[in-house]
Amino acid sequence: MTLVAIADAGGWAYDESGLNAATIAQVKAGGSVAEMENGHASDDAIGAIIKLGDKIDGVFLALPNLPNDFIPGVVTRFVDAGFQGVFSDALKRTRAMEMVFEMDDKLRAAGCVYLTGCGATPGLLTAAAALAAQSFAEVESVDIWWGVGIARWDDYKATIREDIAHLPGYDVEKAKLLSDAEVEALLNETDGKLTLHEMEHADDVMLERAGVLSREQVTVGGVMDTRRAQKPVSTTMTLTGTTFEGKRSQHKFILGDETSMAANVCGPALGYLARAHWLRERGVCGVFGSAEMMPMVVK
């Protein structure tokens, strides 16, 4: 795989022979794509990427925090412009993913493959749940409990606001309107920790679609520490079920505490992008949840 193009709200960059990882890291450290080597400022960076056409085989849509219709809208633009390739995303919200699944006919007709929910959760942990389910005649619950530790919250402003949106009394719009000082004040109340229960997380619709269990049997929550890089709890997927012999038990998938959100989201998303390409090469098109496919190893 070669990363040839990248876009953010203010610009895009393209290099047929591959963009340089070091310059991308600069962008992450506060710059914008427009300032990169090979970068161009644009108020329609997505449109510029779409114009690259068949120079691109696959697109990773990395932003889970924008309005629900953002990613379906981007994909519609690609398809309507005649793009024939594959997509993966790191979507989190149930409603946004339902909108993606509704695009199945459109993507099949266009000869495209879209694998959705390909981050950590949904993604890695959801697929682990679909695997774990295989030992059981009846699955009663899937419980995902994540821990994230970040040394400085302002490196992940959008993600923190997405998490605040899940707290009682908040929603996506309210969280988005908080000033940095207001976020800081909120975090001060709990020594920088956000504990979230019953999050709207698309693991539920993915596991329901895969036939594992119904969506209300899936719970997602966790603890984010915004002041320490160490995870406050180990991220764990626990599936509880009953075997064909009537034994009740639990399988667990536990992520190593030293692995970052970036490693657990972007690794799977690229692995699934490669799987999407594999499917398309074999004539299998449409929209699938990541719990229906294995990711591939990407080098």
Residue numbers of the site for a copy of itself (CB under 8 A)? 124, 127-128, 130-137, 210-212, 243-245, 247-260, 262-264, 266-268, 271, 282-284, 291-297, 299
Which position among 98, 102, 162, 247 bears the catalytic label?
Answer: 162
Establish whether 162 is a catalytic residue. yes
Maximum Cα interatomic distance, the chain, rounded to a whole number of Å: 62
Establish whether 92 is a catalytic residue. yes
Instruction: Retrieve residue 231's tokens.
Output: 């995870």
Which position among 106, 166, 189, 197 bears the catalytic label?
Answer: 166
Residue 35 or residue 292: which is nearer to a copy of itself going by CB? 292
Residue 195 or residue 260: which is nearer to a copy of itself going by CB? 260
Least distance between a copy of itself and beta carbon 67 (Å): 28
Least distance between a copy of itself and beta carbon 251 (Å): 5
Which position among 40, 92, 157, 173 bears the catalytic label?
Answer: 92
Residue by residue, DSSP assigns 201-248 as -THHHHHHHTTSS-GGGEEEEEEEESS-SS-SS--EEEEEEE-TTS-E
Least distance between a copy of itself and beta carbon 81 (Å): 26
User: CA 94, 99, 102, 103: dihedral to nearest 10 degrees?
Assistant: -130
Distance CA 8, CA 12 (A): 6
Amino acid present at 106: K
Pairing of strands 236-242, 138-149: antiparallel
Distance CA 150, CA 270 (A): 23
Least distance between a copy of itself and beta carbon 57 (Å): 18
Residue 228 or residue 252: which is nearer to a copy of itself going by CB? 252
Least distance between a copy of itself and beta carbon 286 (Å): 10
Residue 85 or residue 271: which is nearer to a copy of itself going by CB? 271
8 A C-beta contact, residue 243 and residue 249: yes
Q: What is the DSSP letter of 185?
A: H
Residue 190 or residue 230: which is nearer to a copy of itself going by CB? 230
For the annotated catalytic residues, the residue numbers are 92, 162, 166
